[in-house]
Structure 1
Amino acid sequence: MKILKSLALVIFSLTATFSFAQKSDLGAWYMYFGNNKISKKLNLHNEIQYRNFDGIGDLEQLLVRAGIGYDLTENNNNILLGYGFILSRPYINSEKTENIEHRIFQQYITKQKFGRFNIQHRYRLEERFLEEDFRMRFRYFLGLNIPITNKEMLPKTLYVSAYNEIFLHFDSPVFDRNRVYGALGYVINKNMRIEAGYMNQIQENKNRGQIQIGFYNNIPFTKN
């Protein structure tokens, strides 16, 4: 219970930060990630991200992804084919605009464990169908979860989460962006966890911070 109160305090503090950051470059992302087993080898990926320029109300981007994955080994080495719908509302010359992107992506995820260190590598290839353009992009994600109050990522465990992800275009300019993230997380039960943290993104030689709150759901759709 004390751990839940601590995490609630972190989320409350971040929410308070949103209130004072309405006119700054600090944005807020609210994220849901589902990774649900539909058989021993197959999984359904489902994801919604609601991204704001400020705390809430000024939509920057709505992102919805879904895909089917297959484990090459037991609960590891997952290959996945997916689709993403992205609605973006950027400001151009102080005017709010809107554009839609359809995205197909292929990815490979492999996991490693060294003591308390739970490491994930994700390699993703994206085919991006923009309104007036087509682009391909490669992304490499290196993530790390470290339990604090237990030796394993067990229910009622407080943990630290961090990642770095780099985005590369197949054409010029090659470098697209880089993201660095740190958060505090809590394992609710064996199938659900929640994180609250901060991500800094470098894009076009500019840094922009994002407060992030994410919920992870791994409830299987099968009894096997």
Structure 2
Amino acid sequence: MKIVRSLAVMVFSLAATASFAQKSDLGAWYMYFGNNKISKKFNLHNEIQYRNFNAGGDLEQLLIRTGIGYDLTENNNNILLGYGFILSRPYINGEKTENIEHRIFQQYITKQKFGRFNLQHRYRMEERFLQDDFRMRFRYFLGLNIPINNKEMLPKTFYGSVYNEIFLNFDSPTFDRNRVYGALGYVINKNMRIEAGYMNQIQENRNRGQVQIGFYNNIPFTKND
């Protein structure tokens, strides 16, 4: 119970910090990630991200992604084909606007382990169908999870999480954005974990911070796993 209370305090503290978004330009992202086995080799990816300009109530973007993946080796080297629906509500000249994007993406994820260090590389290609445009983009993600109170990512383990992700357009300008992230996570059980942290997003003419709270669900949909 002490651990649950500690996590609750951390989550509410981050949300309270994000409530000053209008003054500090700090946003808040609330995220759910599902990666569920549907057979020994195939997995279902499902994801919802609710992104706000502040702690809540001023929606910046709603992102929903899903896809089917296949492990080239046992529980690793996953290739995936997916679809994303993105509703954006940016401010333009002080006025709230609304844009809808449909996105097809292909990705490859490979994982490596060096002692306590759990590395993940993700290579993603995106075909973006905007309301009045079509664009293509490449993304490279490098993530690292390090258990703190155990040597492995076992249940009841706290861990540190960091990542860097760069986005590159196929047209001009080539550089789209870069994200740098750091967080504290907790492994609830072998199939669920939670993270709370901070991400800084660097764009050509903008640098903005985001408080992030994420829940990860890997419960298999097959009895064999």
The TM tier, using the shorter chain, reads: over 0.9
What secondary structure is seen at the aligned counterpart in 1 of 2:79?
A: strand
Q: Deviations over 1:66-105 (max 9, x none)?
A: 0000000000000000000000000000000001000000
Give the alignment of 1:59-208 within 5 angstroms. 59-208=59-208
| Partner SS, residue 13 of structure 2 | helix
AA at the equivalent of 2:149: T
What whole-Å deviation, never above 9, does each CA across 1:175-202 have from its counterpart, x for those lacking one? Answer: 0000000000000000000000000000
Deviations 1:101-156 (A, max 9, x none): 00000000000000000000000000000000000000000000000010000000
Q: Under a length normalisation based on structure 2, what TM-score does the superposition of the two structures give?
A: 0.97
What one-letter code is carried by the residue in structure 1 that aligns with 2:63?
L
Letter in 1 for 2:186: Y
Structure 1 counterpart of 2:175, one-letter code:
F
| Contact 1:3 1:158 (8 Å CA) reproduced | no
Q: Does the alignment pair 1:34 with 2:34?
A: yes
Letter in 2 for 1:128: R
Which consecutive residues of structure 2, in runs of 5 or more, have no partner in the other structure?
Answer: none
Contact in 1 for aligned 2:21/2:53 (Cα 8 Å): no
Question: Which amino acid in the other structure matches residue 6 of structure 1?
Answer: S
**Structure 1 residue identity aligned to 2:46:** N
Per-residue deviation, 1:8: 2.2
Which residue of the partner structure matches residue 218 of structure 1?
Answer: 218
Do 1:7 and 1:184's aligned partners in 2 also have CA atoms closer than 8 Å? no
Summarize deviations over 1:3-35 as a string: whole Å, max 9, x none: 333322221211221233343310000000000
Q: Secondary structure at the match of 2:172?
A: coil
Q: 8 Å contact 2:20–2:26 — kept in the other structure? A: no
Q: How many residues align?
A: 224
SS at match of 1:152: coil
CA RMSD of aligned residues (A): 0.9
Shift of residue 206, structure 1, vs aligned partner: 1.9
Tell me which amino acid in the other structure corresponds to 1:148.
Answer: I
Taking structure 1 as the reference length, what is the TM-score of the superposition? 0.98
Structure 2 residue 19 is the aligned partner of structure 1 residue 19: yes
What fraction of aligned residue pairs are identical, expressed as a percent? 88
Name 2:51's counterpart in structure 1. 51
| Alignment partners' CA distance in 2, 1:5 and 1:219 | 24
SS at match of 1:8: helix
Secondary structure, counterpart of 2:24 in structure 1: coil
